[in-house]
Structure 1
Amino acid sequence: MNTRDLIDMALRNLLKRKLRTFLTVLGVVIGTASIVVMVSIGIGMNQGFAQQLESWGSLQVINVYPSGGMIYDEASDSMKQEKKQDELNSKAVEQFRQIEHVEAVSPVVEEYLYLVAGKYIADASIMGIDPGAMEALGYRVVEGRGLTAEDSKAIVVGGGVEFYDPKLNWEMRYASEPPQVDVLQEKLSLTYDWNYGTRNADKSIKPVKVEAVGKLSAEGNDSWRVIMPIKELEKIQKDRQEWEKKQSGSQNASSRSQSKEYQQVLVKVDEIENVQKVQQQIKDLGFRASSLTDELEAMKETTKMLRLVLGAIGAISMVVAAISITNTMVMAIYERTKEIGIMKVIGASLKDIKRLFLTEAAFIGFSGGIVGIIVSFGISFLVNVVAAQQGSTMQSSIPLWLALGAVAFATGVGILAGYLPAKRAMKLSALTAIKTE
């Protein structure tokens, strides 16, 4: 019996009992849809976590800090000072660049300064980074452009930075709406004179002229920051230290560190899957390291049991569908006992009979899987619509691998469910089957 005849006979046998075949296929549809929808909600939860964390920063960026910070000691159940192992300096930066899967590395220097725009000023957290690494580090510029390796006096301003008139008292500043300043059009400067714009301003401090070339989003952790080339910020820091020394009249008066050790280093990894591996390698070098993937893994672990329960609920539906397929095939054997006997008498091999029943079972599983996937997409769409209307972050996502895997799984369940009935059909005696009425 060739494959074409086998498929043709299997389809004709299934269509002889349309209602029973329909009900069996319906069971597979419900089982497939249950599994896919439940798993898709779990996948959607993970994607929702990732999207939420990405609003705080890139999931592929590792934050590296010097060793010697406070750590938790399990033995004493308290915090203790970690022993300092190595400095986070230019040598360490080069070590990070040599790690496999690392795309970009940038040391970080932070400083609080005034950002001046005409008669208005803003308290700004200034972050100095390697300008050539800004794009790779995942900073989202919503207007203008990001920093490039050629920039020196350029800055990128966070969308949440607010200006005010320094001549107003605190009550009036908070009572009035902040002025709207288009930083991309204004002439800007930076100063460490906290009395700038008032009668007590120090005229010996000359503001450093800068140019805003881009704006960051008004949402996320970087919305209140101003990003500029690290070398320019280090120059401002040096000038500030010299000014503080003159003000105090002492060479040792400045409380700022003269060390070349960086406060922080940002390490960009090529793929999210490699972040934890690279992060551990950095820790092995003696530094503290953290990333948003730590939060993501913690969230996934928290919801792991829920996702397992959702998958188990769907699996139960598929088990019921498998029992239904087995029942259908067994009933088909009882009804077609004589037909099986005739097939054996006219020369059909045991292998052909087994293949026939397995093909019928596979068709039930395959057709149920296809329809089940279609139903799953519809349910997934409705879940996302309702969740959006309710303002919930829960969502359903059906990737291609899940859809194809569900169809293959349903087909496999059909074949497995039909295996025992097929074996039973093979064992029937030809003479006894022919005599059966």
Structure 2
Amino acid sequence: MRLKDKFRFIRQNIKKNKARTYMTILATAMGCAFLIVLASIGYGLQQSVVKDTLEDQTVTKIDIYGKEVDGNYQSLTMEDVQSLEKLDNVRSVTRKTQLRQYPTYSLDDYEISANAVSTHFPSELAAGLELDEGRLPEKANEVVVGYHFANNLHLETEENPYDEDTGEIKEELRYSGSIIGKTITMSVQKSAEEDKAEEIPLTIVGILKEPGREWLTNTDVFISQEVFQQVEAYTGTPGGELGVDSEILETTSLTSYDEVNVYADNLEAVQGIVDTLNEENYASYSVVSEMNQINTLFTIAKAGLILVGTIALVIASIGIYNTMTMAVTERAPDIGIMKAIGANPKTIKQIFLLESSYIGIIGAFIGTIVAYVISIVVNIALPMILEMAFSQEMPEGLQFSAIPWSLVVIAVTICLVVTILSGTGPAKRATQIDVLRAMRREV
């Protein structure tokens, strides 16, 4: 019996029992749609979390916290930096040293307290440092400031300069105008007990680009090593730290670094570099490690959601089994005729398995389309509903549902397997029908 004839036989049965077949297809489609939509929540939230993680941090960045030597962790030195720069697939190694007191900066009647950081600009540029305005420092007294430095520069006042509602500097107290080319005075203390301060004039020549995340604020002032050492010489303590019993500054804190970051050539190279760092006893962290943990958790969650969705298809399979069993009973005379003219039992079995597969394919196709529609509606409507219900704004770009092709393939495969298994029993029963009883309609 040709495949074309088998499909003709199947279509004839469907036409005779349209309502029953269509309801079975509808149940299969609903089960498939439920499976896809349920699992799509796991995929959607995973994409949102991973996207947020990637935007929050540079994906090729590896933070180095120290190196274990004789059971103790030590700060990294220039020797360590040079060793790290020699590793394969390393694009840049940045290093920063932070002043260990919080200087005050003044410009005319305006002031701000902010971190002072000494950094190596050539390595920062290689790592992707960008300026919003101006240029990099060329002289010892020239500095680059963070993007939000000017917005937090405010008039000297005894009252709280911050707005209670927004948490930002009050508009009437905020500095307006460009700060490029302006000279600010950095005031550093000699000790915590004394009010005496050293005033160092600095010229702002550049402003860093705005951080990638809206909630990040950067008001740092990037000073030269010469200014950093000037502060150390004035305070007599490493990094200008206050409250340290040190009469003589024997070694400057610039011989070690507070923050060292390794930047890989690409994302694929990060894990290899991290493995090498672990072997050499460096304490490190990279966003790749966090992503692996996130992906593992979401993989487990997606597997659970797919399992729950599969239960809906199993329930739908009961309807398929019932439909196919009735089809076998109603077509007993046809089966008897086919057997009488020499049809192979295998051929009869294939006909009923094809019919159950036909129901599964149509149901999966309809279910997939419905799932995509529901996914679009969920992503548009659900954030609005949650905002109205809880009066809380949802994070920008939050995606509740996502349907990748892999999920569609998984769902369709499960749907076909379930429908074929549902039709196996009735198909086997069809091959066991007695020809004479079938002809007399005694089945």
Smaller-chain TM-score range?
0.7 to 0.9
Structure 1 Cα separation of the partners of residues 12 and 214 of structure 2: 62
1:239-278 paired onto structure 2 within 5 Å: 239-245=230-236, 253-254=248-249, 257-258=252-253, 260-268=255-263, 278=273
Change (3 A) 1:237 1:396: same
The answer to whether residue 114 in structure 2 is matched with residue 124 in structure 1 is yes
| Partner SS, residue 210 of structure 2 | strand
Change (3 A) 1:336 1:144: same
Which digits, 9 at most, give the CA deviation of each residue in 1:244-266, with x for residues without a partner? 45999x99634984353322222
The answer to whether residue 433 in structure 2 is matched with residue 428 in structure 1 is yes
1:362-377 paired onto structure 2 within 5 Å: 362-377=357-372
Change (3 A) 1:272 1:19: farther
The answer to whether residue 352 in structure 2 is matched with residue 361 in structure 1 is no
The answer (yes or no) to whether the contact 1:326–1:418 under 8 Å persists in 2 is yes
Structure-1 residue corresponding to 2:400: 395
Which digits, 9 at most, give the CA deviation of each residue in 1:198-238, with x for residues without a partner? x98756x34244222633357244x224486xxx6434323
1:218-237 paired onto structure 2 within 5 Å: 219-221=214-216, 223-226=217-220, 233-237=224-228
Change (3 A) 1:379 1:165: closer
Structure 2 Cα separation of the partners of residues 415 and 286 of structure 1: 56
Give the C-alpha shift of residue 436 in structure 1. Answer: 3.1
Structure-1 residue corresponding to 2:324: 329
Change (3 A) 1:329 1:42: same
1:407-426 paired onto structure 2 within 5 Å: 407-426=412-431
The answer to whether residue 49 in structure 2 is matched with residue 44 in structure 1 is no
Moved more, 43-52 or 22-31: 43-52
Structure 2 Cα separation of the partners of residues 59 and 286 of structure 1: 22
Structure-2 residue corresponding to 1:193: 187
| Partner SS, residue 212 of structure 1 | strand
The answer (yes or no) to whether the contact 1:129–1:227 under 8 Å persists in 2 is no
Structure-1 residue corresponding to 2:4: 4
Give the aligned CA root-mean-square deviation in angstroms.
Answer: 4.4
Give the C-alpha shift of residue 162 in structure 1. Answer: 3.6
The answer (yes or no) to whether the contact 1:156–1:216 under 8 Å persists in 2 is no
Give the C-alpha shift of residue 375 in structure 1. Answer: 1.6
Structure 2 Cα separation of the partners of residues 11 and 109 of structure 1: 78
Paired amino acid for 1:107: R
Structure-2 residue corresponding to 1:21: 21
Change (3 A) 1:344 1:174: closer
The answer (yes or no) to whether the contact 2:144–2:204 under 8 Å persists in 1 is no
Query: Structure 2 regions of 5+ residues with no counterpart?
Result: 164-169, 190-194, 388-393
| Partner SS, residue 424 of structure 2 | helix
1:35-434 paired onto structure 2 within 5 Å: 35-54=35-54, 56-67=56-67, 83-84=71-72, 88-93=76-81, 96=84, 104-111=92-99, 120-126=110-116, 131=121, 144=132, 155=144, 157-159=146-148, 162-165=151-154, 168-171=156-159, 173-174=161-162, 176-177=170-171, 178-181=173-176, 183=178, 186-188=180-182, 192-194=186-188, 202=198, 205-212=200-207, 214-216=209-211, 219-221=214-216, 223-226=217-220, 233-245=224-236, 253-254=248-249, 257-258=252-253, 260-268=255-263, 278-292=273-287, 310-389=305-384, 390-391=386-387, 392=394, 395-434=400-439
The answer (yes or no) to whether the contact 2:64–2:261 under 8 Å persists in 1 is yes
Structure 1 Cα separation of the partners of residues 344 and 137 of structure 2: 76
The answer (yes or no) to whether the contact 2:97–2:257 under 8 Å persists in 1 is yes
Give the C-alpha shift of residue 410 in structure 1. Answer: 1.6
Instruction: Provide the TM-score with structure 1 as the length reference.
Output: 0.75
Structure 2 Cα separation of the partners of residues 382 and 58 of structure 1: 32
Give the C-alpha shift of residue 368 in structure 1. Answer: 1.0
Moved more, 50-59 or 400-409: 50-59
Give the C-alpha shift of residue 345 in structure 1. Answer: 3.2
Paired amino acid for 2:114: A
The answer (yes or no) to whether the contact 1:103–1:270 under 8 Å persists in 2 is yes
Instruction: Provide the TM-score with structure 2 as the length reference.
Output: 0.74
Percent same amino acid among aligned pairs? 25
Query: Structure 1 regions of 5+ residues with no counterpart?
Result: 70-81
